Structure 1
Amino acid sequence: MSSRLPSFSSAPKVAELIEARALAAVFQPIVDFDGGTILGYEGLIRGPAGTPLESPGALFAQAAREGLSVRLEHAAAETCVAAFAALGCEGKLFLNFSAEAIVSLGQTRERTAELLGRYGMPIERLVLELTEQCAIENVAGFEPIVAALRETGAQFALDDYGTANASMNLWVRLQPDVVKIDRFFIDDIANDPLKFEAVRAMQHFAGASGARLVAEGIENEADLIVVRDMGIAFGQGYFFGRPAARAQRRLAEPAREALAAGHIAVFPRATRSQLPGSPSGGVAAAKMLVPAPAVPRSATNNDVLELFNRLPALHALAVVENDEPIALVNRRGFMDRYALPYHRELFGKRPCLLFANAAPVVIEKSMTVEQMAKLLASDDQRYLADGFVITDQGKYLGLGTGESLVRAVTEVRIEAARYANPLTFLPGNIPISSHIARLVEHRVEFHACYVDLNHFKPFNDRYGYWHGDEVLKFAAAVLAKACDPTRDFLGHVGGDDFLILFQSEDWRERAHAAIAAFNEGALGFYADEDRAAGGIQGEDRRGNPTFFGFVTMAIGCVRVWPAAPDLARYGSEEIASVAALAKHRAKQEPSGFFLIDVDEGAATLHLHEHALGTARTAATMN
């Protein structure tokens, strides 16, 4: 590149810049998370500093107006290669190309190798990124061009995956060596469960296709730790380094420390509607469909009787007009009427609408269980006996039973509760167990803290479940405030039991702060006279009158550290059990806090279980 650049007007032409070799290259590192080494650099182009075409956006927009887009892309590549070689950098060089620019490289191995060879750099170190600048009109014709490119030894990458050109179709057909995930999906992934799930889906497909993923747009430690712990191997973004003319050879200290961080990420959790088994997610009325015949408006009661006798399992019969349901005949009610003296003779030839429910419950097949669950709370409970009619865009499809609706809602909500508590929406037992397993697998030091509320049952009995739920939600809010969401995992085991998996170094201070904040705030849930009395009158578990103090918080903590003896054999259930044991001790402490090591707690737990087993055996023998 010439060291003496001509003086340009306020609006230079792209053709002039190319001829004068006035383009400048900058390089942004692409980092291998394993060890924090630099895998390579993405070469980017800039126009002359201080001119309207300094930014790449303005530069390529002007090139498009001049009809020089492809020529600018090739000039940019040559500029980047020349600067990269002059710097003596190691690793791969990633170069951006539109589909049109890649086509112009040639459609044979020899032609492509010849053109790439002009860049003056070993072809094996080049990675050509397909950008989203223009659509690929003929993907089938583009495939052999990519194949010829690969035969030269260069690699092929999809850039900005998830936007514009970078689609699943291209991934399948072109089988790139590298896929760069668009920054949209990486930015704030630590707090966005939908982005997290989208990237995880890309990761699964990358594993099947053999492509390597690069996470673009990493700008903070929290996003980096999540991406790292997902198993994505490479990343790029301002957190590692901004594009610069002198390519950085070593990561800055904050980035190296983040990559070597001993804690693992707390993956963002799904909202209630995104949880597996959630009543508002994908379980539709169609799954409760009972195929059943229908009768027209003109049918008689004798026609209905004949169908009920022929189909003994049929609980009801729909009446339709123009394929649309207009009434429902309940089997039991209908047969009970016909059992009365002379009803068959009197009403057999009368219209079937005479004994039908003219306002049946009608639902669309696409309706979710959550929407149908509203029926359970409605004043009209006839659907429990009659069942309901299922339609497809208003046309009769079949029937559903009240029993199947109650069962479906119950099963779905029980399943959802395993993932998230329906009151606090905090993670349930399955996510808790999964996170403990990840902590143990990565041999990370953490503190499992079991949280319980003292005197909560008497409060519930005195003030009612609605006030009790408000206390539980207040406890959840206090505990959430005590946690660092990027390091500490908070789950709701059930009832007034919570579990925190602390990785924060100041975990002890956080736990004590939670106890103090809850104990003070809980007083606000009591009536003035109970606050003045220092508690409430109630009954103990044996029904004896007892005075109970205020609801307070107790936290039993278990220290789990990498060097703990036999750490690998501790499963999530055993660690949770030891934490529960520590919780019982904490309830006896004036401070409401107790700490125990995992091996000591496990030994105590085993002794306790052995003692219980011996006692049961003795009782059986006696």
Structure 2
Amino acid sequence: MTTVSIIDCIKQELLRPAFQPMGALASGDIFAYEALIRGPAQSPLESPAALFRLAQMEGCTVRLERYAARIALTAFSQAALPGKLFVNLSADAIPEIAASRSEILTLLRALQLSPERIVIELTEQAPSGDLSILASATNILRESGMQLALDDYGSGHANLSLWLALKPDYVKIDRSIIDGAAKSTFQFEVLRYLRQLADAGNARLIAEGLENAGDLMVCRDLGIPYGQGFFLGKPDFELVERLEDAALSVLHDKAISVFPNAISGAPGAFSVSKLLILAPVLSPAATNNEALDLLTRCPDLHAIAIVDDGRPIGLLNRRTFVNEYARPFHRELFGKKTCTAFANMAPVLVEKSATMDEMAELLTNDDQRYLAEGIVIVENGRYVGIATGESVVRAVTEVRIEAARYANPLTSLPGNIPIDIHIKRLVKSRSPFHACYFDLNNFKPFNDQYGYWKGDEMLRLAASVLREVCDPRKDFLGHIGGDDFLIFYQSEDWERRIRTAMLRFNEGARQIYKPADIEAGGIHGEDRCGNRRFYPFVTIAVGVVSVAAGLDVDSDSIASLAASAKHEAKKLADGFHVTDYPRDILSCVTP
């Protein structure tokens, strides 16, 4: 087909409206439709992008938008379906339509459409003029009962200043933020932030670009009220009356999503500035007598930096200096010589912006003199202050211990705090789930005989196998510590998954042993009483607490009940034990 002009398309009625449904994520009902425009079928203008490029070239973009809005409103009225209609208009078109408000209201009355059902969606085209003009125009339309939506928030012109200026009723989150949110901690946190922002601004969010079950579940469980995307429904020339079956299956499923923020609540970024000691300095020309006077005046200083033109070149440690200077005749011999004689002229310099990994690497260096002498803190190479070696070790250790509560350092699996958060989410949802406690039999004697490296290999094997039998959308895997793991299954085939994991781990664990021990069927070692005995291969035991839907569950008891079930499992030949969560928890928990 030969390309025609936009005016010809309008005159010959070659353009067609298409409609894409938007779903209410809490119920699975259709909440609204977005009206889209399509050019002549099988033509270069069938794509809306090509259509609007030509309109821009011909200088009739606003006319195209007004025509598209009219035919969409007409088709929507004829369909006689409930819900709202989102009509796309640019920042240039909205003031023109607001100026002829009576015309649009007359059209709506003729079509028997209430203005309250119409949402003006500001498209991604950036405002070309004064933003106050656009704000005034949108206010005129909203006074008539229509609402305003900000499209593609998070890309292009859709920024916070536009949100603040227009105060939209709806904000559509750009697909670049939505796509992959179920796997990205950062995108998840952006969504959580936008949810808080929307609540504060009295706006309702719409997640655009929903194309898979995982992202849909995360958006639903975050409390984002509405969604749009191919997974819910594709644009169609006919107005559909229900969302896609796959989307409805997800939205009606009682399972909650596994948020991808297992370690996002971990302690904030490490800052060397917290260790900073503001201290006076010595110049390279200062004498040892001047250094002694300064140390005498500052009895709490462990060291003094030697600084030349703002850059540290040495570190004079109090203990080293005093021990040397107290020797017979040293004061007389060295008192008037420069302080560099007793200083470390290759001190450890640490940037003020150093990360935790960089500080941890410092602890593993062969040169450990900094433990006694301390470190010099710099900013872009220039002196800022000093810190003690003890404070460095303590800070790194404390942060590592705290971080381990969020993510196990060996397996990178969520630790105790994310586990507790997820338990509380499960309990609050009153959804059915299975709390499964995994423990390794005979792990300690294996670890004692083979060493920690092989023990770590065994634990990593367990983590890998357990990951493989979890549906990342709704099964939560955590590592309590040591050889203890927890899985909260919402998958219906949870027992099959557990049995598969047990089989895979038991077979894999055997291969970690030496050939002679494999042939012998295990190893000899001492028990806790010092008696020598034979230990078969490391295997996995699983205790399961089955929690039915709708139960009033004590979240604090779940992990301990699963641990009790695990102890029962370790007594059984197959290492597997299941117990139902008691309806009266008080009768089953000893005070």
Instruction: State the TM bucket, normalised to the shorter chain.
Output: over 0.9
Instruction: Please list, as runs of the form range in 1=range in 2, the aligned pairs for 1:179-258 lying within 5 A after superposition.
Output: 179-258=171-250
Seen in structure 2, the aligned counterparts of structure 1 residues 360 and 447 have a Cα distance that, compared at 3 Å, is same
Question: Following TM superposition, by how much is the alpha carbon of 1:219 offset from its aligned partner in structure 2, in angstroms?
Answer: 1.9
Q: Do the aligned partners of 2:92 and 2:127 also contact (CA within 8 Å) in 1?
A: no
- Kindly tell me the number of residue pairs found equivalent between the two proteins: 587
Q: Distance in 2 between matches of 1:68 and 1:159?
A: 22
Which residue number in structure 2 is paired with residue 276 of structure 1?
266
- Look up the SS of the partner of 2:92 in the other structure: helix
Question: Following TM superposition, by how much is the alpha carbon of 1:118 offset from its aligned partner in structure 2, in angstroms?
Answer: 5.0
Q: Distance in 2 between matches of 1:222 and 1:441?
A: 20
Decide which of 117, 122, 129 is 2:105's aligned counterpart: 117
Q: Deviations over 1:10-35 (max 9, x none)?
A: 11011211233322111111111232
Decide which of 272, 276, 283 is 1:289's aligned counterpart: 276
Which residue number in structure 1 is paired with residue 386 of structure 2?
399
Does residue 81 of structure 2 align to residue 89 of structure 1? yes
Q: Do the aligned partners of 1:136 and 1:165 also contact (CA within 8 Å) in 2?
A: no
Which residue number in structure 1 is paired with residue 582 of structure 2?
599
- Look up the SS of the partner of 1:397 in the other structure: strand
Q: Distance in 1 between matches of 2:69 and 2:355?
A: 54
Which residue number in structure 1 is paired with residue 348 of structure 2?
361
Which residue number in structure 2 is paired with residue 385 of structure 1?
372
Q: Distance in 2 between matches of 1:377 and 1:483?
A: 36
Does residue 547 of structure 2 align to residue 560 of structure 1? yes
Question: Following TM superposition, by how much is the alpha carbon of 1:136 offset from its aligned partner in structure 2, in angstroms?
Answer: 4.8
Q: Do the aligned partners of 1:160 and 1:166 also contact (CA within 8 Å) in 2?
A: yes
Q: Distance in 1 between matches of 2:27 and 2:46?
A: 35
Does residue 19 of structure 2 align to residue 32 of structure 1? no
Decide which of 250, 259, 264 is 1:267's aligned counterpart: 259
Q: Distance in 2 between matches of 1:411 and 1:113?
A: 64
Question: Following TM superposition, by how much is the alpha carbon of 1:285 offset from its aligned partner in structure 2, in angstroms?
Answer: 1.5
Seen in structure 2, the aligned counterparts of structure 1 residues 217 and 166 have a Cα distance that, compared at 3 Å, is same
Which residue number in structure 2 is paired with residue 584 of structure 1?
567
Q: Do the aligned partners of 1:158 and 1:178 also contact (CA within 8 Å) in 2?
A: yes
Does residue 512 of structure 2 align to residue 520 of structure 1? no
Which residue number in structure 1 is paired with residue 358 of structure 2?
371
- For structure 1, which segment, 55-64 or 252-261, has the greater mean C-alpha deviation from structure 2 after superposition? 252-261
Does residue 38 of structure 2 align to residue 46 of structure 1? yes
Question: Following TM superposition, by how much is the alpha carbon of 1:332 offset from its aligned partner in structure 2, in angstroms?
Answer: 0.9
Question: Following TM superposition, by how much is the alpha carbon of 1:137 offset from its aligned partner in structure 2, in angstroms?
Answer: 5.0
Q: Distance in 2 between matches of 1:303 and 1:560?
A: 74
Does residue 3 of structure 2 align to residue 16 of structure 1? no
- Look up the SS of the partner of 2:488 in the other structure: strand
Does residue 416 of structure 2 align to residue 429 of structure 1? yes
- Look up the SS of the partner of 1:31 in the other structure: strand
Task: List structure 1 runs of 4+ shifted beyond 6 angstroms.
Answer: none
- Look up the SS of the partner of 1:303 in the other structure: helix
- Look up the SS of the partner of 2:97 in the other structure: coil
State the TM-score, normalizing by the size of structure 1: 0.91
Question: Following TM superposition, by how much is the alpha carbon of 1:602 offset from its aligned partner in structure 2, in angstroms?
Answer: 5.0
Decide which of 297, 315, 330 is 1:328's aligned counterpart: 315
* Aligned residues: CA RMSD: 1.8
Q: Do the aligned partners of 1:578 and 1:605 also contact (CA within 8 Å) in 2?
A: no
Which residue number in structure 2 is paired with residue 619 of structure 1?
none
Question: Following TM superposition, by how much is the alpha carbon of 1:112 offset from its aligned partner in structure 2, in angstroms?
Answer: 5.4
Q: Do the aligned partners of 1:285 and 1:366 also contact (CA within 8 Å) in 2?
A: yes
Q: Distance in 2 between matches of 1:386 and 1:137?
A: 63
Does residue 136 of structure 2 align to residue 149 of structure 1? no
Q: Do the aligned partners of 1:483 and 1:490 also contact (CA within 8 Å) in 2?
A: yes
Counterpart of 2:48 in structure 1: which amino acid?
A: P
Q: Distance in 1 between matches of 2:449 and 2:117?
A: 74
Q: Do the aligned partners of 1:99 and 1:130 also contact (CA within 8 Å) in 2?
A: yes
Calculate percent identity across the aligned residue pairs: 50
Q: Distance in 2 between matches of 1:175 and 1:461?
A: 64
Seen in structure 2, the aligned counterparts of structure 1 residues 606 and 66 have a Cα distance that, compared at 3 Å, is same
Q: Distance in 2 between matches of 1:31 and 1:499?
A: 35
Q: Deviations over 1:285-336 (max 9, x none)?
A: 2221111111222211122111111111111111111101111110111112
Which residue number in structure 1 is paired with residue 477 of structure 2?
490
- Look up the SS of the partner of 1:228 in the other structure: helix
Counterpart of 1:437 in structure 2: which amino acid?
A: K
Q: Distance in 2 between matches of 1:369 and 1:439?
A: 33
Q: Distance in 2 between matches of 1:367 and 1:173?
A: 40
Question: Following TM superposition, by how much is the alpha carbon of 1:452 offset from its aligned partner in structure 2, in angstroms?
Answer: 0.3
Structure 2 gap ranges (5+): none
Seen in structure 2, the aligned counterparts of structure 1 residues 282 and 141 have a Cα distance that, compared at 3 Å, is farther
Seen in structure 2, the aligned counterparts of structure 1 residues 416 and 126 have a Cα distance that, compared at 3 Å, is same
Q: Distance in 2 between matches of 1:411 and 1:116?
A: 65
Question: Following TM superposition, by how much is the alpha carbon of 1:600 offset from its aligned partner in structure 2, in angstroms?
Answer: 7.9
Does residue 151 of structure 2 align to residue 159 of structure 1? yes
Seen in structure 2, the aligned counterparts of structure 1 residues 287 and 20 have a Cα distance that, compared at 3 Å, is same
Does residue 494 of structure 2 align to residue 507 of structure 1? yes
Question: Following TM superposition, by how much is the alpha carbon of 1:254 offset from its aligned partner in structure 2, in angstroms?
Answer: 3.0
Q: Do the aligned partners of 1:454 and 1:551 also contact (CA within 8 Å) in 2?
A: yes
Question: Following TM superposition, by how much is the alpha carbon of 1:380 offset from its aligned partner in structure 2, in angstroms?
Answer: 0.8
Which residue number in structure 2 is paired with residue 69 of structure 1?
61
- Look up the SS of the partner of 1:145 in the other structure: helix
Question: Following TM superposition, by how much is the alpha carbon of 1:601 offset from its aligned partner in structure 2, in angstroms?
Answer: 10
- For structure 1, which segment, 281-290 or 201-210, has the greater mean C-alpha deviation from structure 2 after superposition? 281-290
Counterpart of 2:405 in structure 1: which amino acid?
A: R
Which residue number in structure 1 is paired with residue 530 of structure 2?
543
Q: Distance in 2 between matches of 1:300 and 1:317?
A: 13
Counterpart of 2:535 in structure 1: which amino acid?
A: F
Seen in structure 2, the aligned counterparts of structure 1 residues 263 and 70 have a Cα distance that, compared at 3 Å, is same
Instruction: Please list, as runs of the form range in 1=range in 2, the aligned pairs for 1:411-422 lying within 5 A after superposition.
Output: 411-422=398-409
Counterpart of 1:309 in structure 2: which amino acid?
A: T
Question: Following TM superposition, by how much is the alpha carbon of 1:563 offset from its aligned partner in structure 2, in angstroms?
Answer: 4.7
Counterpart of 1:253 in structure 2: which amino acid?
A: D
- Look up the SS of the partner of 2:396 in the other structure: helix
Does residue 558 of structure 2 align to residue 575 of structure 1? yes
Counterpart of 1:480 in structure 2: which amino acid?
A: R
Structure 1 gap ranges (5+): 1-8, 611-622
Question: Following TM superposition, by how much is the alpha carbon of 1:142 offset from its aligned partner in structure 2, in angstroms?
Answer: 3.3
- Look up the SS of the partner of 1:419 in the other structure: coil
Q: Do the aligned partners of 2:232 and 2:243 also contact (CA within 8 Å) in 1?
A: yes
Q: Distance in 2 between matches of 1:92 and 1:606?
A: 53
Counterpart of 1:254 in structure 2: which amino acid?
A: A
Q: Do the aligned partners of 2:431 and 2:550 also contact (CA within 8 Å) in 1?
A: no
Seen in structure 2, the aligned counterparts of structure 1 residues 138 and 342 have a Cα distance that, compared at 3 Å, is farther
Question: Following TM superposition, by how much is the alpha carbon of 1:135 offset from its aligned partner in structure 2, in angstroms?
Answer: 4.6
State the TM-score, normalizing by the size of structure 2: 0.96
